[in-house]
Amino acid sequence: MHQAQLSRRERDVARLVARGVTNAEIARSLGLSASTVKHYVESAMRKAGVTNRVSLAIWLREQEGAG
């Protein structure tokens, strides 16, 4: 199944998720609100076709390894 590309910001957020960073920590480090980070995480998971943060991290690793 072909998945949509993540936006630059979704990818930035997903990379931090993959490192185990919480939404609140991501928000502080990127200067975003917690609700905006939550939106980016949910959008990235939807585009990746996954339902949790661990699966998003694995998906991102596979995508970046393939590129």
Mean per-residue pLDDT, 57-67: 86
Confidence of residue 65 (pLDDT cuts 50, 70, 90): confident
For residue range 4-57, list pLDDT tens digits in order.
699 999 999 999 999 999 999 999 999 999 999 999 999 999 999 999 999 999
The pTM of the whole model exceeds 0.95: no
Alpha carbons 57 and 55: distance in angstroms, whole number = 5
Count CB neighbours of 62 within 10 A: 11
